[in-house]
Amino acid sequence: MNFLVVNCGSSSLKYQIIDMASGDALMSGKIERLGEGRTHRDAVREVLEKAASVEIAGVGHRVVHGGDSFHDAVLIDDDVVAAIERCIPLAPLHNPANLAGITAARAQLPGVPHVAVFDTAFHVRMPRRSRTYAIDAEVAARHGIRRYGFHGTSHAYVSDRAAAFLGRPLDELRLITCHLGNGASVCAVEYGHSTDTSMGMTPLEGLVMGTRAGDVDAGVVLLLARELGIDAAEQLLNKQSGLAGLSGLGNDLRDIEAAADDGNDHARLAISVFAHRVRKYIGAYAATMGGVDAVVLTGGIGENSRTLRRRILQRLEFLGIVLDEDRNADAKPTLAEPVAAVTTETSRVPALVVATNEELQIARHVQATIDGARQVEAKRPIPIAISARHLHLDRKTMDALFGAGSELTEYKPISQPGQFAAEQKVNLIGPRSRIDGVRVLGPLRPAVQVEVSRTDEFRLGVDAPIRDSGKVKGSAPITLEGPKGTVHMEEGLICARRHIHMTPDDAKHFGLKDKDEVEVAVTGGPRDLVFGDVLVRVKDSYRLEMHIDTDEANAAELSRGAAGDLVYEPAPSGVQGALRGKRAK
Ligand code: ADP
């Protein structure tokens, strides 16, 4: 399955098409100079023309500001579009561009789900103490003035990668993740959740960035507004500050580093202010979290500039971080090998360089949101039928047990259409003991199949394999006794494998196919239980129903009328999971 990921800015559209099976980008690119006679609609058309040969199953849209409204990625509908519009005052530069991309892509790819993934969502549960600005509370509430945080997609992604690299669960780690690109932010990821981050109500707060000032005294903003006017002050703080403003050399760190090497003092100051600010936040977040287990550097600068990494990480031994100069010089994370440690083997707190992959993370959100929506829609409880021991007969054995030419007569219909419990019963005789009066199910089948529980097997003194219905070859022997005769079967006794019957419509609903395996949870009773290895069987003539035997039902304390639900994976870093235990045969 391939997802198109769209990151729409005011003057450019970046895109990737990601193959979810491998996580690789099949195509990627950037369409620039939007606004100069070229619309977002033109850009989307261009992308779709280039991607004509690829089937796109869904689209993920990066949306910068989700305000208070969005705690997670969402399927886009008209209400979601309206809610993103309402967040425009909070992100006047970004949200309109994101919306232009959404509108254009929904118009041109109407048949697939579109998912909005918000930069702010990862930070939505930041505690009050870190999200609150100490200004008049009533004014703040009226204007939605609080800290929201951004770059959530990247902070979440690199946190997952770091935890995997360290071989520890994310919910046991206190991480400080530093996304250092053109935009830059630090995040305190405490046991899997963002508890503080350096960007605030807008992406202007915090670190020194390519062209943004980051933290300045609010008095400076007032002075600039007074002296230059609001628009010019906004322009200065957003576009003419940061590394570019300090160095006078533009926002590309490579140029600034080269100039610094040549002795340019403006360039040196720019680098030193940048590094100082990052160190300051690392120290602050180690303090707010009461410790730190690893520091992560990512983004164009974090992944590439060994000089800045050294400036940021040196002399942090008091925190347990001991930089390894060689490792730092060699670290070059790639998408294929995305994590490299730059601290010594004995450093108590490792510092890791991680290649971020926001597009992949957005694509995962698309997958999870589609699965989640399917799950909600599919919250179709699965009725559970408890099969008591029973057997199916073939023509020949029917003749031997009940007399030549005898027919099964219906006692009562059973839930699967066309099948019935017959009036006829058979006695099972095993080496240890016998079980009398076992019901025959009709109609006749091509082969005899006797289905018993494990408890029955003990009674009979036989050891039957767990088998899918119909697979009796090599199963256990059993003797059948009827009113007109006795038949010894060399095979035919099985312990039926638990399974779900479903129609093709059910299967589509759940996103399953014949022979898949799933997990089914039974909850709400005194002995909640998750059944694994449940086989899915799809046929037009079936009715949705899970079949288990009496032992299994007793283990879950089930009675008639019980139902179960398919189990989905727990969420890695806010991403909702896919069907758990799902295996395709
Ligand atoms: P964006 O926020 O636009 O996605 P990136 O994450 O691509 O930005 O980071 C861009 C920054 O990374 C620029 O300042 C660029 O100079 C810097 N950068 C990229 N490669 C290197 C490198 N090899 N050495 C130093 N800085 C680099």
- Give the angle 279-283-287 at the CA atoms, nearest 5°: 165
H helix runs in 263-394, sequence order? 265-289, 299-304, 306-313, 325-330, 358-377
Helix (H) or strand (E) holding 131: helix 128-131
Considering 119, 324, 506, 549, which one is annotated as catalytic?
Answer: 119
Distance 332 CA to ligand 1 centre (A): 13
Residue-wise pLDDT for 547-559, tens only, equals: 999 999 999 988 7
Mean pLDDT of the region 258-273: 98
DSSP strand E in 36-159: where? 58-63, 74-75, 114-118
Q: Is 119 one of the catalytic residues?
A: yes
Measuring CA to CA, how many Å separate 85 from each of 64, 311, 331? 12, 41, 42
The residue type of 438 is V
Give CA–CA dist 355/334, Å, rounded: 6
**Dist. CA 478 → ligand 1 center (Å):** 73
Q: State the residue for tokens 């089937």.
A: 55
Helix 230-239 vs helix 218-228: angle between axes, to the nearest 10 degrees? 130
CA 298 to CA 186: how far, in whole Å? 10
Instruction: Pick the range with the lowest mean pLDDT from 370-374, 408-412, 495-499, 551-555.
Output: 370-374
pLDDT value of residue 574? 42
**Rounded to an integer, what distance in angstroms lies between the CA atom of residue 151 and that of residue 209?**
13
CA 34 / ligand 1 centre spacing (Å): 22
What is 374-383+499-580's CATH number, 3.40.50, 2.40.40, 1.10.287, 2.60.40?
2.40.40
pLDDT of 455 above 80: yes
Q: Give the β-pairing of 339-341 and 517-522.
A: unpaired
CA distance 558 to 555: 8
Percent of the chain with pLDDT over 90: 81
The pTM for the full model equals 0.69
Q: How far apart are CA 13 and CA 33, in angstroms?
A: 9
Task: Give the torsion sign (CA, 151, 157, 158, 162).
Answer: positive
pLDDT at residue 323 in the model: 98
Tell me where in the chain the CATH 2.40.40 domain(s) lie.
374-383+499-580
User: Strand, helix or coil at 251?
Assistant: coil
Is the CATH number 3.30.420.40 carried by domain 2-118? yes
Atom 3 of ligand 1: nearest residue by CA position: 182
- pLDDT confidence bin for 509, thresholds 50/70/90: confident
Residue found under tokens 């919910």? 171
> Is the model's pLDDT at 376 over the cut of 90?
no
Give 251 Cα–ligand 1 centroid separation in angstroms: 9
Residue of 153, 182, 246, 356 to mutate, ligand 1, most atoms within 8 A of C-beta: 182
pLDDT tens for residues 219-258?
999 999 999 999 999 999 999 999 999 999 999 999 999 9
pLDDT given for residue 215 in this prediction? 98
Q: Are 494 and 466 in contact (CB under 8 A)?
A: yes
Location of each CATH 3.30.420.40 domain in the chain: 2-118, 152-357
- Distance (Å, whole) CA 105 – CA 580: 31
Does residue 572 surpass a pLDDT of 50? no
Fold adopted by 152-357:
Nucleotidyltransferase; domain 5 (3.30.420)
| CA separation for the pair 316, 282 (Å, rounded) | 9
Candidate from 62, 199, 252 with most ligand 1 atoms within 8 A of CB, to mutate: 252
Ligand 1 shell residues, CB under 6 Å: 181-183, 210, 251-254, 299-301, 304-305
